[in-house]
A and B are shown apart, each in its own frame.
Chain A
Amino acid sequence: MVPQDLLYTESHEWVKVEDGTARVGITDYAQKKLGDVVYVELPDVGKKVKRGDVVVTVESVKAAESVYAPLSGEVAEVNRELISSPGIINQDPYGKGWLIVIKLEDRGELEGLLDPAAYGKLVGE
């Protein structure tokens, strides 16, 4: 089931808008496709990102997948718990497995994201 309170990208990131910021993670579909996450490469807090930039790399044993910034802005928080326990992404992709929080630059960019119905359709749910 695709959570109904989030927005999505075609590259399988989810976005949760919380006043001026957006929490970002990868979807359940993405984590399953990737398999057991063994390592996460997080950006520094304060880094400026443009929509579409590679902002995080999530690795399994046999793949290194890029996570793209769904929105432009500044990295306000990173989930440091993932450094020692990357498996959280597999266990709870929409909750404790969040990756970063971005301070939004342009709320207009939210228009470009997929709603739950559209994303559900994309992944065949």
Chain B
Amino acid sequence: MEYIPHTPADIERMLRAVGVEDIEDLFSDIPAEIRGRYEPLGLEPSPEPEVRRELERLAARNRRLVPFVGLGLYDHYIPAVVNELASRSEFYTAYTPYQAEISQGTLTWMFEYQTMICELTGMEVANASMYDGGTALAEAILMARRAVGGDKVLIPRSLNPFHREVVETYCRGAGIGVVEVPYDEEGRLALADVPPGTAALVVQQPNGLGIIEDLRGLKERLGDAFLIVSVYPIALGVLEPPGSFGADIVVGEGQPLGNPLSFGGPLLGIFATRREYVRMMPGRVSGRTVDAGGKEGYVMTLQTREQHIRRERATSNICTNSALCALRATIYLAALGPEGLRRVALLCLERAHDLAEDIREIPGFELALNGPFFNEFAVRCPDPERTVEKLYRRGFAVAPPKVAERMGLPDAFLVAVTEKRSEAELVGFLETLRG
């Protein structure tokens, strides 16, 4: 076994030191009855070339469609420098930075990441990551209830349905009721009233149907209840950050920041809040301090919030997070800088609107909603199922009609366009719709 370096002589020496005859004696404390019932998998060991061949066979059994699909995960261009730097094994083979003196690399980038997330979202503090945008949103709702009490949360009908399902699972477990908020004909949130016992209102920006929400005045209408905004971080290159509208917590799916689609995992949960709530926040945080010689350095701090100290009274059970994805996001944002981020966002805006314009001119095709959008929009046409099938056959993927339907929009499919979509792909996509 290439991963186990013990030679027969090594094993012999260790057994002798331990004072047992043979390896099996080391397992004598596991009841024989249990060991006796063990059934092998019937699997022969495989050398590296064969394992590679098998995994490459599985990879080849997938068809790489051109993604015109989003719903939280977007196909943005990842600069080579991100892949290269995040592949340094001093980063990826390290554990959580509990031993700060030999983890300054991780702790420093965590601090950078927290800064960048605060800047993007307009918030005061950010944690070092959650698993994904869906669980980050669920945890935000739990935090809101800790902070203000209440027994229900207001969820937009236009919320990303995959996030919504996660939220519903968590809320059922925690005894929080989910109340749906409809949207108007433009696709924008139509909040009528805030029922008593509301812990939080969730708003997604842009929402699950791609529409840009008007965040003005929402916080004022909530009273003590939290305003939680779920964001698409790339869109924040051109959208006013939720912090400007009094958001109490901002969460989001961070995959678009330098992480591949990866069939939906691993992802990156963004989580930021206001400073006064930092002690209620879940997840790890890096803080700046000094060493014994007065030199600047970083440590994990405010750990008394976390499960390893506060146990059943912790702010969350989260331990392992999405560190490596957050590192990629950090390098990505540093590689883009403010101008690069704005450019990527503008390119998304331009290509999506150009494509939407062209689609609208196809007879029978229209945009299902006429509200403002960033780079994702719902298309209505006579036979959306067949149209989507036709796109698949030509190598293009959009979100199937059932996704929009789950947000209350029948007979439509969602299209997302990033800066990565080439002229040829855009033309091919249009021609398929026309043909």
Contacts and interface: CB of A to CB of B under 8 A. Distances in A.
Q: Do A and B touch (CB < 8 Å)?
A: yes
Interface stretch (A20-28, A61-69, A71-79, A97-105): A61-69
A26 B309 CA distance: 20
Interface in A38-97: 39, 41, 59-64
Contacts of B304: 39, 59-64
Nearest to B314: A64
A41 B280 CA distance: 12
Given A39-B304, A59-B304, A64 B279 contact: no
B417 to A, nearest CB: 48
Contact of A62 (B279, B309, B313): B309
Contacts of B279: 39, 41
Interface residues of A, number: 8
Contact of B310 (A60, A61, A64): A64
Contacts of A60: 304
Contacts of A41: 279
B361 to A, nearest CB: 62
B303 interface: yes
Please report whether the interface of chain B is mostly helix, strand, loop or mixed according to DSSP.
Answer: helix
Contacts of A63: 304, 309
Interface of B: 279, 303-304, 309-310, 313
Contacts of B313: 64
A60 B310 CA distance: 12
Contacts of A64: 304, 309-310, 313
A42 to B, nearest CB: 13
A62 B362 CA distance: 64
A59 B305 CA distance: 10
A52 B366 CA distance: 66
Interface string A5-37: 000000000000000000000000000000000
A60 B301 CA distance: 11
15 contacts: A39-B304, A41-B279, A59-B304, A60-B304, A61-B303, A61-B304, A62-B303, A62-B304, A62-B309, A63-B304, A63-B309, A64-B304, A64-B309, A64-B310, A64-B313
The 8 closest A-B pairs by CB, nearest first: A64-B304, A59-B304, A64-B310, A64-B309, A62-B309, A63-B309, A63-B304, A61-B303
B203 to A, nearest CB: 30
A48 B303 CA distance: 29
A39 B287 CA distance: 15
A64 B307 CA distance: 11
A76 B27 CA distance: 61
A61 B309 CA distance: 10
Contacts of B310: 64
A70 B366 CA distance: 70
A64 B303 CA distance: 10
Nearest to A66: B313
